[in-house]
Amino acid sequence: MTVTPVVAAITTLCASLALSGVIDGLRWWGYAGVAVTVVTAIGLGLRALRTPVLLVGLAQMFAILCLLVSLFTDSGVLGFLPGPASLGDLGNVLENSIEVVRTGVPPVPATQAVLCLVVIAIGLVSVLVDTLAVSAGTPAASGLVLLCVYAVPASLADEMLPWWAFVLGAASFAALLAVDGAHRHQLWRNRPTVQGTNGGFGGPAALVSGAVAIALLAGATVTVIGTVGQLPGGNNGSGSGGLGLNPFTSLRGMLDQEGNVELFRVRGMGDDRARYLRAITLPSYNKNGGWERETKEMPAGVPADEVLRSPGRQRPQSSELTNIQIEPVHSVDYWAAVAGTPVRLRGLPDDMRYDEDSGMVYGSESRSLSAYTEDADLSEPTSDDLRGDGSFSETGLVSDVYLRKDGISDDVTALAARLTANQFTTLDRVLAIQRYFDTANGFRYDTQTAVGTDESGLEDFLFKSKTGFCEQFASAMGILLRAAGIPSRVAMGYTAGYQNGEYRTITTQNAHAWVEVFFPSSGWVTFDPTPLSDGTSYDPPYATGSGPSGPEDDPNDPSATSTAPSTPNAPTSTARSDDPTQQAGANGATQEESSKSWLWITAGAIVLVAILLTAGTAASGSRPRRRARLLPFAVAAWGLVAVAVAGVVSWWLALLVVLLIFSATPGVIRERRRLSHRNDVHRGGPAAASSAWSELLAESRDRGIEVGSTETVRTAARRIAREHSLDDGGKRALRTVVSEVERSWYGDSETPDPTLAPAYDDLMDGIRRNAPLGLRGKILPKSVLRR
């Protein structure tokens, strides 16, 4: 009980090194080490006092909470105990950490918010590993928990995780299994010293090491170990591989990060020809995750150095093309950004491909490209051209994926129908939908919004908050277009930045998303619903009825600002300024802050009650009746704390916690009865012998051995000794217990034999040693479920 917890702690620490793929430096590992050390020390101390398993886990989680208060707040009671003020301060830190997860681009710096998240995550993992490896005696099951530690950075980081994180994690996990195997071997042989497991290829360490070696070998040869995997194209242009990240993650990270990093220098694109640079297009809408690629497999495409075609567009004459030089500065990506419609690309690596359906130029790996040249078709149709364009359904030029309406709610469909009513051309329907997002209709641009692009976030943005940044505006307009039966997709890339001497500078603050609509005779045409106020947006003439307005402002020079382009008024059928939905959006921030305050106050009150009940239970050790009354309330209070903490993250996580608590209830009841019986035996008195016999029958029933009501005590005892394969020490202890039970039931003395208590302990230890109970038997004991 000392070696296994220490090895489990080392295993958790080694596995946590996988986070080095998403967190900069190793400063955070010291915080993780402190959390693991606290959890291990609490577990060692409480198990030495024979504390019930549930209370050990609860005490470890409370110790993590105290550690969080002491490390990340200055308002704790006595510096480390949680109080209302410290819980409020900790809540603010947690909000910042959640925002880092939502918008950060790995590797993120080890800020206070990130360190707080590390302490919580690794601390809880340490509690689970310690419980499974030590209390439950199933260290192999802790491998699932440790696998989650690797899964998180593997799904976020673009680079392969450090090889030494895999090696150290696998080696320490093998050591944990080896220690457990040695301990079980010692118990089986009943020897006083720890024996090694059988050598050769049959030992746990050899088996795990072999499995890890095979997995690493297969991963290195068959696929790419780690993260996003091999991306589009591959070396042979087969299009194998997958796209593993939500593209909006990087977009949010660039817009929300501090500072302004230069990404591109573009020459040959003056103010009169300033266009957005497109990097990626997203054709499919998933109501649970927003816009995404249809599949993780990328199309084969054609070599990027060929003459390129685009559906719906006639190939222009050479004199009509614009020669644009694009020089990546600090841009590292799988895609090559292009302006307008690319016709010819020069200077790109040989493995770069072009897909004419999506309009994307991509490579097999993320890299910093050298300067390349694009012959771009920047011509644009007029509004009359688009109004006279034929129906796209008659051409067959556009794929069905751009018309799918899966997951669009009835409310959104009704809004699209209302906005496009009495509009007879595709262009007029598109412009009617675009006008809905005008600032005069209550919409506001804000990069700090937390609104998402899934179904609930989309409806909140459209009908309530009306506050978001380009991700929400483009996503919402694309969905309304789909609902209206218009082929559309979301494009991501950059606005044209600002003129800086002989070239245009494009920075991280120019990251942008917009909408593209397909017209049969013009191809994919750009529409931007986002009301940018920095002058970097581009309004084509067909969308405004006037000449184009190009970006002019330098974001690094606050004095050089321009007025946002004027946009048409919203349709009269939209909500008025006194609409309750707009009032709800205006008061949303205040209501949200109020609800959060009450949430933290309620959670703090529940935690305080749980602490008081736990303290009262611990203080009533010499008063068993009082302890028995307080213990259920203390357990229930800590259960409410777990549900409340999970509810702060997500309602489904709270539901999962409720289900876990419900499934653990039989085991808790069984542990409480076991503790009650043991207390009766050690306290002495008339009930000592009966409690010893009841616990013996319960232990037998948990292992599938039922004692009939017609069996005598001695007959039942002989069968129990045989079924449980008791050793000599266990049989001696069983004889003592049987004798005391018979003397108590059939004799005149009410004073138990003083040898009953040690014999009872020896008997219980012998049963658990010679007939160990599996994890399922511990969680779902038959003595509770089949009374």
Domains of the chain in start order, with CATH, are 3-225 (no CATH), 247-377 (no CATH), 383-492+509-590 (3.10.620), 668-785 (1.20.120)
- State how far the Cα of 217 lies from the Cα of 639, in Å rounded to an integer: 44
- State how far the Cα of 97 lies from the Cα of 106, in Å rounded to an integer: 14
- State how far the Cα of 243 lies from the Cα of 229, in Å rounded to an integer: 8
Query: What token pair was written down for 701?
Result: 């029933």
Q: Which of 190, 180, 186 is nearest to 137 (CA)?
A: 180
Q: What are the C-alpha distances in Å from 151 to residues 148, 154, 613?
A: 5, 5, 37
Partners of residue 302 on adjacent β-strands: 354
- State how far the Cα of 524 lies from the Cα of 562, in Å rounded to an integer: 29
229 pLDDT more than 80: no
334 pLDDT more than 50: yes
Q: What integer pLDDT is reported at residue 666 of this predicted model?
A: 84
- State how far the Cα of 272 lies from the Cα of 679, in Å rounded to an integer: 88
Q: What integer pLDDT is reported at residue 580 of this predicted model?
A: 36
One-letter amino acid for residue 183 of the chain: H
Q: What integer pLDDT is reported at residue 541 of this predicted model?
A: 84
452 pLDDT more than 90: no
Q: What integer pLDDT is reported at residue 578 of this predicted model?
A: 38
Percent of the chain with pLDDT over 70: 70
Contact 263, 328 (CB under 8 A): yes
Query: Cis link prior to 555 (omega < 30° from 0)?
Result: no
Strand 341-346 versus strand 372-377 pairing type: antiparallel
Res. 338 pLDDT band, cuts 50 70 90: very high
The whole-number average pLDDT for the span 437-449 is 80
CA atoms within 13 A on the CB side of 313: 23
Res. 552 pLDDT band, cuts 50 70 90: very low
Element (H, E) at 377: strand 372-377
Query: What token pair was written down for 488?
Result: 């559309």
Most confident of 82-86, 96-100, 391-395: 82-86
Q: What integer pLDDT is reported at residue 106 of this predicted model?
A: 65
113 pLDDT more than 50: yes
Q: Which of 374, 355, 259, 372 is nearest to 309 (CA)?
A: 355
Please, what is the end-to-end C-alpha distance for the chain in angstroms? 32
Contact 347, 226 (CB under 8 A): no
- State how far the Cα of 724 lies from the Cα of 718, in Å rounded to an integer: 10
Q: What integer pLDDT is reported at residue 208 of this predicted model?
A: 46
SS3 of 525, please? strand
For 124-146, give the DSSP string.
HHHHHHHIIIIISS-GGGHHHHH
Count of C-beta atoms within a 10 Å radius of residue 269? 26
Res. 587 pLDDT band, cuts 50 70 90: very low
Res. 597 pLDDT band, cuts 50 70 90: low
Least confident of 35-44, 167-176, 346-355, 754-763: 167-176
712 pLDDT more than 80: yes
Q: What integer pLDDT is reported at residue 415 of this predicted model?
A: 92
Most confident of 25-34, 149-158, 412-421, 691-700: 412-421
Strand 302-303 versus strand 353-355 pairing type: antiparallel
Res. 579 pLDDT band, cuts 50 70 90: very low
What is the phi/psi pair of residue 523, to 5°?
75, -150
Count of C-beta atoms within a 10 Å radius of residue 209? 17
Q: Identify the residue with better confidence: 698 or 211.
A: 698
Q: What integer pLDDT is reported at residue 477 of this predicted model?
A: 92
**What's the angle, vertex CA 291, arms to CA 568 and CA 581, rounded to 5?**
50
Spell out the long-range contacts of 217-224 with Cβ–Cβ below 8 A and sequence spacing 24 or more: 224/160
Q: What integer pLDDT is reported at residue 612 of this predicted model?
A: 66
One-letter amino acid for residue 283 of the chain: P
Least confident of 78-82, 254-258, 476-480, 640-644: 254-258
What is the phi/psi pair of residue 412, to 5°?
-70, -40
107 pLDDT more than 60: yes
The whole-number average pLDDT for the span 696-722 is 84
For 758-775, give the DSSP string.
HHHHHHHHHHHHHSPPPH
Res. 417 pLDDT band, cuts 50 70 90: very high
Query: What token pair was written down for 572?
Result: 């009269």
Q: For the segment 340-352, what is each residue's pLDDT rounded down to a tens digit?
A: 889 999 999 888 8
Q: What integer pLDDT is reported at residue 618 of this predicted model?
A: 61
- State how far the Cα of 382 lies from the Cα of 554, in Å rounded to an integer: 29
Contact 32, 10 (CB under 8 A): no
Query: What token pair was written down for 174?
Result: 């093998």
Res. 226 pLDDT band, cuts 50 70 90: very low
The whole-number average pLDDT for the span 634-660 is 68
- State how far the Cα of 488 lies from the Cα of 381, in Å rounded to an integer: 17
Query: What token pair was written down for 422?
Result: 């009495």
Query: Cis link prior to 107 (omega < 30° from 0)?
Result: yes
Residue found under tokens 């308002």: 75
Average pLDDT, the chain: 74
The whole-number average pLDDT for the span 96-116 is 71
57 pLDDT more than 50: yes
241 pLDDT more than 70: no
SS3 of 211, please? helix
99 pLDDT more than 90: no
- State how far the Cα of 685 lies from the Cα of 663, in Å rounded to an integer: 35
Q: Is 698 left (phi over 0), alpha (psi -120 to 50) or beta?
A: alpha
Least confident of 403-412, 610-619, 670-679, 751-760: 610-619
Q: How many angstroms separate the most distant Cα atoms in the chain?
A: 117
- State how far the Cα of 349 lies from the Cα of 216, in Å rounded to an integer: 30
Q: What integer pLDDT is reported at residue 177 of this predicted model?
A: 80
Q: What integer pLDDT is reported at residue 269 of this predicted model?
A: 84
Q: Which of 431, 234, 427, 401 is nearest to 311 (CA)?
A: 401
Query: What token pair was written down for 601?
Result: 């106050």
Query: What token pair was written down for 77?
Result: 């009671």
Residue found under tokens 């050591």: 175
SS3 per-residue string spanning 34-66: HHHHHHHHHHHHHHHCCCCHHHHHHHHHHHHHH
Contacts of residue 152, defined as CB under 8 A and 6 or more positions apart, other chains included, come to 18, 19, 22
372 pLDDT more than 90: yes
Least confident of 226-240, 618-632, 755-769: 226-240
Q: For the segment 168-205, what is each residue's pLDDT rounded down to a tens digit?
A: 878 888 888 877 776 665 666 554 433 333 444 344 44
CA quadruple 679, 684, 690, 695: dihedral sign: positive
Element (H, E) at 512: strand 511-519
- State how far the Cα of 234 lies from the Cα of 352, in Å rounded to an integer: 9
The whole-number average pLDDT for the span 497-523 is 87
Res. 480 pLDDT band, cuts 50 70 90: very high
Least confident of 250-264, 360-374, 504-518, 751-765: 250-264
Contact 233, 239 (CB under 8 A): yes
The whole-number average pLDDT for the span 531-545 is 75
Residue-wise burial string across 99-132, b where 16 or more C-beta atoms lie within 10 A, e elsewhere:
ebeebbbbbbebbebbbbbbbbbbbbbbbbbbbb
665 pLDDT more than 90: no
222 pLDDT more than 80: no
For 455-510, give the DSSP string.
HHHHHHIIIII-EE-HHHHHHHHHHHHHHTT--EEEEEEE---EEETTEEEEEGGG
